Structure 1
Amino acid sequence: MAPLLFTTTKIKRRISLLLSPENQEKLNQLRKIFHFNPTCELAIANGSAHYQAPAILREFEEELAPILSLFASDNDHVLKEKPLPDQFIAQMAELGLSSAAYLSKAQSQELVKTEPVCLQPWGWSPAELNFLAGYHELPEVQAQHRRIAHSDLFQRKHAVQFNNEFLDENPQSFFPRKEERPQLLRSLEAVEHYLLKHPKIVLKSPLSSSGRGLQVIRKRNLNDSNKRWIKTTLDQQGYLVAEPLFNKQADLSFQFELLPEREVVFLGVSFFQTNKNGQYLGHHINPTSELVYRYFKQDELNTIADGLTKQLKKSCFHQLYQGFLGIDALIYEAEEQIKIQPCLEINPRFNMGVLSQAIERKIHAESSGVFQTYYHPKTSYLDFAEEQTKSNPPVTTDERLRKGFVSLTAPGKSSRFGAYILLF
């Protein structure tokens, strides 16, 4: 049976249970244990403490586990069940990207024993609580993690409410009109009615990430495959989020960190790439001002960020959660005007945007390029990485990576997944 969720009405009675500044300071001094589990939303949707993602997604998590080392210090552990080659570990250290220890969970727990640690999964879920149960946390921290894992905070309905409240309080001509805002739909008939108003739409399941759990509908009539997906999602999760398919110009995200005493720190804007169906491809690293300010001036982006910061301070997210949070946005063209949808999704967890910012802190300040993930069902990532390394060998300046190709994961002969930096 799925655990009882803490809804936003219940969250309001738990504000005092967030970490105090004193305990946050204690937490910052502890050894950190990083675990890459981007299937956390799927685990929440399942609800079981014993949930296991499909095999191919578990393979993805294992292969990309090293990317969290970009957040780690020397004393920290990055969990990875299969050992990494010494050559990969040495290169990460030589390039100044990471000197963390890569350990299996059993090895890590044997080393820390009863030492209190700071657990840093990609995101929390009942299954992640169970997976990390062998570690010791400060009691107040453990209680907070349990509340997050058993809440409905990851559901898209909260992003829809946040977006509507933000747009109501911050009217701008370059924001979507009311009829362009996302809506919650609870039946197949409601989807069909929505299609009458918008010829092309995007449907999103309540719990999913990285562009998965999406259906892009480009025709007025739903086909059998569309109907099956809609009915299955409604039966399992109760509703869908619907929005028009915009004429996209750019993807971006506003990055924040939520701290004790309702403090919200704006970390900056990151620009990323998706395919035509909205699935994540990669991030721009140190993008040029031409890219960043092509559509909106710096003061306009700062005004949006200020408004989002104020909205976060009074939202359900800050009533329960502390840590990194990304708000995905979309720049699009409509009626011969460039507009921005300021809140498509809210991710109260680690995300690729804050990861790209971690990369930017590690490389040469004058470098620019891309961070990208790799997947090909038939072509090994090893072959791709070897070819790229020959064509674009890494070059350092002032002991920092300046240009070239660097794999952030250790490709094996059978690796289908990978992640890398390519700097120009």
Structure 2
Amino acid sequence: MAIQLQEFAEQVLFGTSIEAKLSFPREEIIDTRPGDPIVTPRQLTRPQHLLLRDDGVRAKHPSQAKLVDEKERGKLLHFFGNHELLATELMALAILKFPDAPASFRRGLLETLKDEQIHTRLYMHRMEQCGVEFGELPLNDYFWKSVSSMEDPLDYVTRLSLTFEQANLDYSREYGKVFNTVGDSGTAKILNKIYQDEIEHVGFGLKWFRHWKASGKTDWEAYRERLVFPLSPARAKGNDFNAAGRLEAGLDQGFIQDLKIFQQSRGRTPNVLWFNPQAEQCAASNRVVAHPKVSQQLQSDLAFLPAYLSRQDDVLIMTQPPSAEFLRRIQDYGFHLPEIHVSARSADGGGERAPDLKRKLGELRPWAWSPDSRAFFEHCLPHVARPRAHDALWNESLRALYSKAWSAQWGQTFAADHHALDWVAPDSIYGHAVHNFEELTAARKHFAEGGYPHIVFKVPFATAAHGNRCLLADEALSPELCKWLETAWQQQSSVVVEPWLERVFDFSVQYEMSAEGLKHIGYARMVNNPRGQFQGILTNALCKGLAPKLVRFLMQREPEQGRPRVFHHFETSLAHKLEAALHAAQFRGPIGVDALLFRDHSGQLQIKSVVEINPRFTMGRVALELESHNAPRSVGYFQIMTRSQLRKTGSRDFKQWAAQLTSTHPVQVSARAQPQIRSGSFPLNDPTTAQQFLAVYHVRESIHDLLQEISQ
């Protein structure tokens, strides 16, 4: 006697006992009366103890470290068992929803359903041996909600076969290794069987996906277009990406590589990052301004840099995404990739704006808050989880923080409060804001009387050391310099005048200001030219390779302090005072303080606590993130190469130069779950599209080798 496929599917989907859902008939199953299509039930029928939770209550997923405990292993298998039971029910639903699907497809559904029943029973038996009863923990309904709304068989294979079952090619293999590691070979064997079955299941779905997908589309293009948010290709992979299993299932190399580098949040509300390095120009005019061509190229070339500041599931907005080859390399070096979106054009055609992401967002994290970033993110503000008022994103108090005049005045006040510390520079060496030639003459005389006859001029709103002018002792103001000063006064009302110091060590201190207060992030050792302009940053090498006298100065401790006095100075005294100023200005976000060691007019080492305060992300913050990817003993050098520097190498473009660089210094990565870079050099933005600027990271196992290379 035979049983109809429709009747069997109804038994599985609407059964009120676990036995009804997991029993496979001994009779022959035929498909001569497929019936009419059903509507997805509003609630899944299950025994009471196995009902899905839709109130947000979830069981805690055991960490891998806890799986040495058998009870914890049982809890993990409870998660797996629920997924297998849901797959069984979803396959039954597909049989009932799509009675007109090809007979061979429906027969394939039946075979995979049978496998899922077996998988569920294997997990139930093993979890009970571990002391966990199926149903004693809350059962999540995400899997059901994501797939049960399918409208046709193509939806089914896209969501279940090519998304959730494909992800299990990673999870089943990964956890099989974990269970072997903790000595549970029995569970490892179960996971290995499931892994082998999943290869067949993915292959089955892939066959029909290719049969039904839109013509003229690659598998990847059709797959991405078919998924509906919040489902995305990110759900089709686990932590331990298994390319070999996907090849065995029949997926092509292009699809596999595109999936590997694809990123989108799987649940965490993403922060959104954007690179706007010319914020000072907008701050100066207090409006959105058209940037010079070279500034536009800087923004375009280095738009990927915030990727190194992002966290898992964050979004990065760029004008043009990097090539897949570049992204794969960065991922292979141990960096996670953000979800990349392309910027849109403003409705009035006036410039770029953030794309419509159409989902809840975490924080908006531009390189800097200024008039251009506020305009860029204007229409995103309603989607932010904890929105801030427009005037909290940009106001006159925030604008003041960008001014070097404000930094000089704040640093002067701070130094005056710490005049008792003989190793901290006095307030008299801090700059003065001058508004005319008379005030300039007075400032010059003041510094000369204090032992500093050489001076430097800074415009208040400009990036570090750019636009600076120097004037030596007894040197007269040239007509060119007078014209420059008059233009600066006309455009920015003042010029900061400060003494030229004999600098011996440059560094920056990175902080993050939140509603909870100012958090110290770390220190970055800067490499600047004699004018104080940025050349690069050394990582994992704050004191390495320095003269012993400098190291003693930096590491000297006071009896009552646990930390060296210099670090204690920045992490307590300066941080507390700066926090109060930032709070008063309603500032939130990253902030960097440039500082330096110099020899005073008597030859003694002193520290200038504040050279400049940068209320934004800085290259020092990027360097700290790069440093976290160094192997423990390895040191790094982060630099930004310009087109003029490229010409000196003889290479025709950045692509050719980068290829030679990576060939000469191939990246060596440690064999760990989270790769760490031991040595090698590589570009940080895509060299195939870079026109004027290329960020590069060099890692070496010896500070002396690295310093020698830098000096050449």
**How does the TM-score come out when normalised to structure 2?**
0.53
Q: Secondary structure at the match of 1:213?
A: coil
| Pair 1:389 & 2:662 matched | yes
- Alpha-carbon distance change, 216 to 294 in structure 1, aligned in 2, over 3 angstroms: farther
| Partner residue of 1:191 out of 430, 433, 440 | 440
| Partner residue of 1:61 out of 288, 291, 299 | 299
Alignment partner, residue 337 of structure 2: 99
RMSD: 2.4
Deviations 1:5-31 (A, max 9, x none): xxxxxxxxxxxxxxxxxxxxxxx9531
User: 2: CA distance between counterparts of 1:319 and 1:110?
Assistant: 29
How far off its partner does 1:59 sit?
0.3
Alignment partner, residue 173 of structure 1: 422
1:67-216 equivalences in 2 (<5 Å):
67-106=305-344, 112-136=357-381, 137-138=384-385, 140-143=387-390, 144-147=392-395, 151-171=399-419, 172-196=421-445, 197=448, 198-216=452-470
User: 2: CA distance between counterparts of 1:111 and 1:293?
Assistant: 51
Alignment partner, residue 631 of structure 2: 364
Mapped contact 1:253–1:271 kept (Cα < 8 A):
yes
How far off its partner does 1:285 sit?
0.8
How far off its partner does 1:413 sit?
6.5
Mapped contact 2:403–2:461 kept (Cα < 8 A):
yes
Alignment partner, residue 14 of structure 1: none
Q: Secondary structure at the match of 1:310?
A: helix
| Partner residue of 1:325 out of 581, 584, 591 | 591
User: 1: CA distance between counterparts of 2:411 and 2:536?
Assistant: 25
Alignment partner, residue 481 of structure 2: 226
User: 2: CA distance between counterparts of 1:149 and 1:105?
Assistant: 29
Alignment partner, residue 401 of structure 1: 677
Code of the residue aligned with 2:664 in structure 1: it is S
How far off its partner does 1:233 sit?
0.8
**Worse-matched range after superposition: 130-139 or 343-352:** 130-139
Mapped contact 2:641–2:694 kept (Cα < 8 A):
yes
Q: Secondary structure at the match of 1:336?
A: coil
| Pair 1:348 & 2:615 matched | yes
Mapped contact 2:630–2:699 kept (Cα < 8 A):
no
Code of the residue aligned with 1:141 in structure 2: it is R
**Worse-matched range after superposition: 139-148 or 330-339:** 139-148
Q: Secondary structure at the match of 2:504?
A: strand
Alignment partner, residue 181 of structure 2: none
Deviations 1:95-136 (A, max 9, x none): 112311232113995562253342111001112211222323
- Alpha-carbon distance change, 288 to 190 in structure 1, aligned in 2, over 3 angstroms: closer
Deviations 1:291-346 (A, max 9, x none): 48364225121232121112113224554112211111111112121111110111
- 1 or 2 for the larger relative contact order (CA 8 Å, sep ≥6)? 1
How far off its partner does 1:235 sit?
0.9
Q: Secondary structure at the match of 2:302?
A: helix
- Alpha-carbon distance change, 147 to 393 in structure 1, aligned in 2, over 3 angstroms: same
The gaps in structure 1 that reach 5 residues or longer are 1-27
| Pair 1:300 & 2:555 matched | no
| Pair 1:253 & 2:508 matched | yes
How far off its partner does 1:203 sit?
0.9
- Alpha-carbon distance change, 110 to 62 in structure 1, aligned in 2, over 3 angstroms: closer
- Alpha-carbon distance change, 232 to 387 in structure 1, aligned in 2, over 3 angstroms: same
| Partner residue of 1:44 out of 258, 283, 300 | 283
- Alpha-carbon distance change, 288 to 124 in structure 1, aligned in 2, over 3 angstroms: closer
Aligned residues: 395
How far off its partner does 1:157 sit?
2.5
How far off its partner does 1:226 sit?
1.3
User: 2: CA distance between counterparts of 1:248 and 1:340?
Assistant: 10
Deviations 1:138-184 (A, max 9, x none): 56424321347963221122212221221122122122234322111
Q: Secondary structure at the match of 2:640?
A: strand
User: 2: CA distance between counterparts of 1:131 and 1:278?
Assistant: 32
Q: Secondary structure at the match of 1:194?
A: helix
Q: Secondary structure at the match of 1:289?
A: coil
Deviations 1:334-373 (A, max 9, x none): 2121111110111111111111111112332222020111
Alignment partner, residue 606 of structure 2: 339
How far off its partner does 1:76 sit?
2.0
How far off its partner does 1:394 sit?
0.6
Q: Secondary structure at the match of 1:314?
A: helix
User: 1: CA distance between counterparts of 2:632 and 2:389?
Assistant: 38
Alignment partner, residue 538 of structure 2: 284
**Worse-matched range after superposition: 113-122 or 229-238:** 113-122
Greater share of residues in strand: 1
Code of the residue aligned with 1:271 in structure 2: it is R
Alignment partner, residue 47 of structure 2: none
Code of the residue aligned with 1:251 in structure 2: it is D
Mapped contact 1:48–1:127 kept (Cα < 8 A):
yes
User: 2: CA distance between counterparts of 1:289 and 1:93?
Assistant: 30
Alignment partner, residue 417 of structure 1: 693
Q: Secondary structure at the match of 2:360?
A: coil
How far off its partner does 1:42 sit?
0.7
Query: Bigger radius of gyration, 1 or 2?
Result: 2
- Alpha-carbon distance change, 190 to 29 in structure 1, aligned in 2, over 3 angstroms: farther
User: 2: CA distance between counterparts of 1:186 and 1:402?
Assistant: 52
Code of the residue aligned with 1:300 in structure 2: it is R
Deviations 1:216-240 (A, max 9, x none): 2235212122111111111111111
Identity %: 21
Mapped contact 1:205–1:233 kept (Cα < 8 A):
yes
- Alpha-carbon distance change, 389 to 345 in structure 1, aligned in 2, over 3 angstroms: same
User: 2: CA distance between counterparts of 1:250 and 1:387?
Assistant: 32
Q: Secondary structure at the match of 1:320?
A: coil
User: 1: CA distance between counterparts of 2:655 and 2:292?
Assistant: 23
Mapped contact 2:412–2:428 kept (Cα < 8 A):
no
User: 2: CA distance between counterparts of 1:78 and 1:201?
Assistant: 41
Mapped contact 1:205–1:241 kept (Cα < 8 A):
yes
User: 2: CA distance between counterparts of 1:245 and 1:231?
Assistant: 21
Q: Secondary structure at the match of 1:296?
A: helix
How far off its partner does 1:83 sit?
2.9
